[in-house]
């Protein structure tokens, strides 16, 4: 079995107060509560208040993670925020988080790997800690997806919610707890499956782009569904193997929370029991890069995931990017 060099010291999450149920969306979109539940498993989602920004959510989740770790912002050596719906194109959302939580003048940067961003950030942080360059790193997944979707598009608007999740990482001890394996991947040939066409150098914002909603998220849902099932199944198996574990030694799977039907198929194909999958998407919808750390924190705080247990996390998002990590908590 692999020897961990980085450990999760604490977890935290933040979900905005306002909750919007499917039936509310069904009042203005050509959809129904039944359709959304049957095709996704989502029942409601949290929606950020007017004036609230991504770094507000990230800072709240970070404070909770620091408290759980028994640390203060002064203990941090680096902040990485995984997001694709940050406060603004510049500066990075991470520097706003640094200010809001009152951290020192530590390196703070964003990582844009869509819904796989949290696993990408975890992998990057693991390298710094393993190398001994930095001791304590805050990794946050935060996305305000409701500001990125077209609220009038029934194919995407019901799928997403807002939120943030965070972990504080530090050096592992010799008790076997920590990151056992973490692998990240990308296939740019599938960049068209999920994208926001306008707002960058390819298509700067213009009146035409705004009128055509090209600054909003566009998704080829069916194709994304298929590639998610395929990659998340196969790379989860690889993460397990890389950690030197068998599925009998696996306690929990925390998949990216996009669609219950994707989770059902991964469970079937892995031959791993469905009740061992942590799932909170009925309450949150797809919260982008925040999805895994939100689910992880929920399962830690309600006592499902316990100290010493093994957790497999896997996610796939725009790019497409994907990753899988095995952690002993």
List residues binding ligand COA (CB under 6 A): 31, 35-36, 39-40, 115, 154-155, 158-159, 221-222, 224-225, 228, 256, 258-259, 262, 286, 316-317
DSSP string, 230-297: HHHHHHHHHHHHHTT--GGG--EEEE-SS-HHHHHHHHHHHT--GGGB---HHHH-B-GGGHHHHHHH
Q: Is the Cβ of residue 23 or residue 104 nearer to ligand COA in the bound state?
A: 23
Q: Residue 277: phi, psi to the nearest 5? A: -95, 125
Distance of CA 287 to the CA centre of its chain: 7
Taking the C-alpha atoms of residue 276 and residue 310, their distance in angstroms, rounded to an integer, is: 11
Min separation Cβ 227 and ligand COA, Å:
8
Q: Is the Cβ of residue 136 or residue 287 nearer to ligand COA in the bound state?
A: 287
* 39 part of the active site: no
Min separation Cβ 199 and ligand COA, Å:
20
* 256 part of the active site: yes
Taking the C-alpha atoms of residue 14 and residue 289, their distance in angstroms, rounded to an integer, is: 13
Q: Is the Cβ of residue 122 or residue 232 nearer to ligand COA in the bound state?
A: 232
Min separation Cβ 287 and ligand COA, Å:
11
- Which residues, including other chains, have CB under 8 Å from residue 95's CB and lie 6 or more apart? 108
Please identify which of the residues 46, 231, 256, 259 carries the catalytic annotation.
Answer: 256
Query: In the bound complex, which residue of the shown chain has the CB atom lying closest to ligand COA?
Result: 221
Taking the C-alpha atoms of residue 128 and residue 281, their distance in angstroms, rounded to an integer, is: 32
Q: Is the Cβ of residue 203 or residue 223 nearer to ligand COA in the bound state?
A: 223
| Residues belonging to the active site | 256, 286
């Amino acid at each position: 079995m692999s020897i961990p060099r980085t450990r999760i010291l604490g977890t935290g999450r933040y979900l905005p107060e306002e909750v919007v149920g499917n039936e509310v969306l069904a009042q203005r979109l050509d959809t129904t509560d039944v359709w959304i539940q049957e095709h996704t498993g989502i029942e409601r989602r949290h929606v950020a208040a007017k004036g609230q920004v991504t770094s507000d959510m990230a800072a709240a989740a970070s404070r909770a993670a620091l408290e759980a770790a028994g640390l203060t912002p002064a203990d941090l050596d680096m902040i990485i925020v995984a997001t694709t719906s940050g406060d603004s194109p510049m500066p990075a959302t991470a520097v706003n988080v640094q200010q809001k939580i009152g951290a020192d003048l530590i390196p703070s940067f964003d990582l844009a790997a869509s819904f796989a961003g949290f696993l990408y950030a975890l992998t990057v942080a693991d390298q710094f800690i393993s190398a001994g360059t930095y001791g304590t790193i805050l990794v946050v997944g935060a996305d305000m997806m409701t500001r990125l979707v077209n609220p009038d598009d029934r194919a995407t608007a019901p799928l997403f919610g807002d939120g943030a999740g965070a972990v504080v990482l530090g050096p592992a001890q010799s008790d076997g707890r920590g990151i056992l394996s973490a692998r990240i991947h990308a296939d740019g040939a599938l960049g068209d499956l999920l994208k926001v066409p306008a707002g960058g150098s390819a298509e700067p914002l213009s009146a035409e782009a705004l009128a055509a909603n090209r600054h909003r998220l566009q998704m080829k849902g069916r194709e994304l569904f298929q590639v998610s099932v395929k990659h998340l199944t196969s790379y989860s198996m690889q993460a397990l193997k890389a950690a030197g574990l068998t599925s009998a030694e696996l306690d929990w799977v925390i998949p990216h929370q996009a669609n219950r039907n994707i989770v059902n198929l991964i469970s079937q194909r892995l031959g791993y029991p469905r009740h061992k999958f942590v799932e909170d998407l009925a309450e949150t919808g797809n919260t982008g890069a925040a999805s895994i750390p939100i689910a992880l924190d929920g399962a830690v705080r309600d006592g499902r995931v316990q100290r010493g247990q093994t957790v497999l996390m896997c996610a796939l998002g725009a790019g497409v990017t994907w990753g899988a990590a095995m952690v002993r908590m």
